A and B are shown apart, each in its own frame.
Chain A
């Protein structure tokens, strides 16, 4: 079992104060990393043996903790109301979930989650050369959140159609927004040189 504190030590050696915090314990430990050192941190973690990128996702914290409704008076029989959570440092948080899997025994040697706070669309460096499934995962983050990834070409939508306007999982995208209508298109004809491949 990989100890998160040991990993924190290794990362501190590699990138110094680029890793800002460690929270959680055991399999749910989360290392927060700065945008400038995320690539190095992930390379170090891959070298430490984390061979599987389980998930790469994003959370939009716009408006987090702002409760528009006043809190009702607490009552012994009503669901508890919680105090407002702390305000997050930036708007977007990229979450990289890594797993160290022993291929021979099928047991997990450790899990770690790396959280990267980004404040705009510049996102982070692409890691698709470290873990190939990051290709599709980064395209999905771009598609739904608008967070870009540098160091890779071919950043296009994956779940939504190319003419979609906006990035729907952002908190400022209302759930009932209507998209502009697009009419039917001529199907590309391969025999006349048309390209069947999905458009960027």
Chain B
């Protein structure tokens, strides 16, 4: 009589993918059954979102899928903008697209790097981390932070991009392409690596669809479903990119799909830079004043000096002058911050600024509910927001793609060995922040 024993891959374990507990039923080295216990990183995002104004929920969304924070930012804002029926200007949409794709690249780099390291290939991990560092530097220049970006605002983005951003990103992409090429040289045709991943953790189409799995897992199983293609948002319907699809749905296909998606994301960002609408146009006869100086003069009552001046805001600080504002935010006075000239020049502008920014006020969407989905790093990342006409959300529900990927994990693990558990688990790209919220 075979007696199986239970092995606990407990919440703290060396395989680095966040806190999760896997209870494996083993017969020797074979896995007979697996059960995942999640919730170790449950921080109450949805409850907290009901307790804070609409714009202040955005920093909480950073912490959901913390390796691709910009995707969460964009997803939440798209849902609320759908509720409020806001139209975004073209430049703002392109900036959001660039941000999304940069985040997607960091997500895939982290996933591939970490799972390579868990399999013993230490060097490709560090090559990909070097590439990711370059991207984090770019994201830092754009948003002000590497990971907790909070780049989008409801109705627009925080600020325009700095003028040297395209060159910086192009330089980063050069390093990135080289690192990814080195990694591919070390791994993709490496017999040991391929043997570790091929045929392991196979997910077939029917199971994937039954479990609501989306993203690279579904695409590696052979279904070419990508939210960017099926329900285009932002500017994706005008961009030319491919959706890589695998065939067998094993770990190797997931690895290859993710690498291919990195290349496609690079293409998307390059196309976005080509079709970026022109930047702010200077008003020729207005004097350019630094916005801080403008505020100073306004506080001292010297409004005559600032009446005709144009605010020179730093591109990466929040808020914009009159020239930048129509490019980065929707034309809705009660939902987006007014330009600095109005804020420092008129009482109405000041009132509007504070009404939007103060924690007890904030923007107010109409009552109702809306659902918007973006293509996250792991699949369809959906936000369902319910409003009751007040300044705080009534309900914010995140449809986390990792949740469904983890729900199907127990099926992938049956029949593999303990060593395969680590490989499969790594290829699912479970991010505890998104799984548990």
Contact = CB atoms under 8 A, between A and B. Distances in A.
A82 B364 contact: yes
B366 A160 contact: no
A52 interface: yes
Given A65-B388, A82-B389, A131-B212, A159 B42 contact: yes
Interface in B31-75: 35, 37-39, 42, 44, 46-48, 50-51
Interface stretch (A6-14, A37-45, A190-198): A190-198
A135 to B, nearest CB: 7
Interface centre among B5, B362, B382, B407 (most CB of A within 10 A): B407
Nearest to A95: B384
A75 to B, nearest CB: 8
A186 to B, nearest CB: 14
A104 B221 CA distance: 11
Contacts of B225: 101, 106-108
Contact of B47 (A51, A77, A168, A190): A168
B386 A101 contact: no
B277 interface: no
Contacts of B209: 51-52, 101, 103
A35 interface: no
Contact of A67 (B212, B369, B390): B390
Nearest to B213: A133
Question: Does more than half of chain A's interface fall in helix, strand or loop, or is it mixed?
Answer: loop
Interface residues of A, number: 52
B404 interface: yes
Interface residues of B, number: 68
Contacts of A78: 334, 351-352, 355
A62 to B, nearest CB: 11
A87 B323 CA distance: 44
A83 B335 contact: no
Contact of A198 (B35, B334, B335, B391): B35
A77 B384 contact: no
Interface string B213-232: 00000000011111001110
A136 B371 contact: no
Contact of B367 (A85, A97, A133): A85
A52 B373 CA distance: 15
A27 B226 contact: no
Contacts of B48: 175
Interface in A79-112: 79-85, 95, 97, 101, 103-108
A11 to B, nearest CB: 20
Interface in B366-384: 366-371, 380, 382, 384
A33 to B, nearest CB: 17
10 contacts: A77-B351, A85-B368, A101-B225, A106-B243, A159-B436, A159-B437, A160-B39, A160-B42, A197-B35, A198-B21
Interface of A: 27-28, 51-55, 57, 59-60, 64-65, 67, 76-85, 95, 97, 101, 103-108, 113, 131-133, 135-136, 144, 157-161, 168-169, 175, 190, 195-198
Per CB-CB distance, the 6 closest pairs between chain A and chain B, nearest first, are A106-B224, A85-B367, A82-B389, A159-B39, A79-B334, A106-B225
